[in-house]
Amino acid sequence: GAVVSQHPSRVICKSGTSVKIECRSLDFQATTMFWYRQFPKQSLMLMATSNEGSKATYEQGVEKDKFLINHASLTLSTLTVTSAHPEDSSFYICSASDRYQETQYFGPGTRLLVL
Amino acid sequence: SQQGEEDPQALSIQEGENATMNCSYKTSINNLQWYRQNSGRGLVHLILIRSNEREKHSGRLRVTLDTSKKSSSLLITASRAADTASYFCATDAGGGNKLTFGTGTQLKVEL
């Protein structure tokens, strides 16, 4: 099956710093990648959708200058949390699909803790 | 919010019993999907049912879809301790595979 990796799996940073999370599709070309945020014992909330080579589409209420998304290639998308604050602490999950797939393939997630 | 609702929120059963989870949603859909998430991990796709389908099977999983009631159910038969996880339904209303996830059901299967 399709494999999606995320790096890092866990990151602790100081308030005010920026953190970059990578999402890679290992065995297929991901024309679309999705970024989600999940709070403990809650569902996934879609943050943004990114298509290779174009700007990401952000969901309502998600600050695009706060959460920078780049999808420069068909196998890599990055999410940068800029000037992170404790309230940004969360579990961030990416997923990927190609134009032929109806399903999304999820990465293992990145747990961010901002002190 | 267009997020769907799932019930029950939590379900605890004995190994060997069947587990049924329900999902309701609000908009017309192209398909509905069920995913599983082990604690602190990513999601694993279980099964997809299209809007013109009423029932689908995959191994011990049985999914039904009632578009008139905007609801779906996931049945896991002969549950095992390894089935312990959170289960989410997700709807695709069309437009680039974008999914809207339900609130999830936490299933615990005890030995």
Backbone torsions φ then ψ of B102, nearest 5 degrees: -80, 180
Encoding tokens for residue B49? 């049912």
Buried b (16+ CB within 10 A) or exposed e, A31-66: bbbbbbbbeeeebbbbbbbbbbeeebebeeebeeee
**B96 contact partners, CB below 8 Å, separation of at least 6:** A32, A49, A51
Contact (CB<8Å) B43/A95:
yes
For B108, the enclosing helix (H) or strand (E) is strand B105-110
Percent pLDDT > 90 in chain A is: 75
Contact (CB<8Å) A109/B100:
no
**What mean pLDDT comes out for the span B84-90?**
96
Predicted pLDDT of residue A15 = 97
pLDDT digits (tens, 9 = 90+) for A6-22: 999 999 999 999 999 99
Name the closest residue on chain B to residue A40, using Cα atoms: B40
Contact A40, A63 (CB under 8 A): no
Question: What distances in angstroms separate CA A80 from CA A3, A63, B12, B41, one per listed residue?
Answer: 22, 12, 38, 20
Predicted pLDDT of residue B1 = 44
> Are β-strands B10-14 and B105-110 bridged in parallel, bridged antiparallel, or unpaired?
parallel
pLDDT digits (tens, 9 = 90+) for A19-72: 999 999 998 888 899 999 998 888 999 999 998 888 899 999 999 999 999 988
Predicted pLDDT of residue B3 = 64
